[in-house]
Amino acid sequence: MPTNSSNPADLLSRFEPYKPKKGEEYMSEEQKDHFRAILRQWKAELMEEVDRTVSHMKDEAANFPDPADRATQEEEFSLELRARDRERKLIKKIDSTLERIDNDDYGFCDACGVEIGIKRLEARPTATLCIDCKTLAEIKERQEHG
């Protein structure tokens, strides 16, 4: 069964956590390179997953005479396609994040402008909010949607 490449923890477990040097400026070139490498690797793994899904669906596609077997296969394919759709959206988010790095806009909260922090970005490389603003947004969402 394919691995869950949409989980950044799986990917990050293979990367050495970044250790800022004393006096190093936040989002230095070395830090940006670190996150570029993480994001590019993550994207490559997601793209491989897409290719595997296409191959799997081609190889496994069969016209089963039994309606139950056919329904099972269609449900399996439907689940795979939904997962790939989520990953497609994640690839777009990764591309957008890489663009933010190139534009020197990475690592700072979209809401308040403070540093998001290296550890938070390593846990969620596509994060655009600091932990405080993210927490407030989640509380607000829960209040609005119950």
| Other C-beta atoms lying within 10 Å of the C-beta of residue 105 | 13
Q: Is the pLDDT of residue 29 over 90?
A: yes
For 46-72, write each residue's pLDDT tens digit.
998 888 877 777 767 667 777 787 788
What pLDDT sits at residue 57? 73
> Residue 57: CA atoms inside 13 Å, Cβ hemisphere, count?
15
Give the C-alpha separation, 6 to 13, whole Å.
Answer: 13
Indicate whether 86 belongs to any domain.
yes
Give the C-alpha separation, 126 to 108, whole Å.
Answer: 11
Instruction: Count structural domains, the chain.
Output: 1
What pLDDT sits at residue 74? 82
Here the tokens at position 12 are 């990050």
For 80-119, write each residue's pLDDT tens digit.
888 888 999 999 999 999 999 999 999 999 999 999 999 9
Task: Please state, rounded to an integer, the average pLDDT across all residues of the chain.
Answer: 88
CATH code at 91?
Answer: 1.20.120.910
Give the C-alpha separation, 119 to 108, whole Å.
Answer: 13
**pTM for the complete prediction?**
0.79
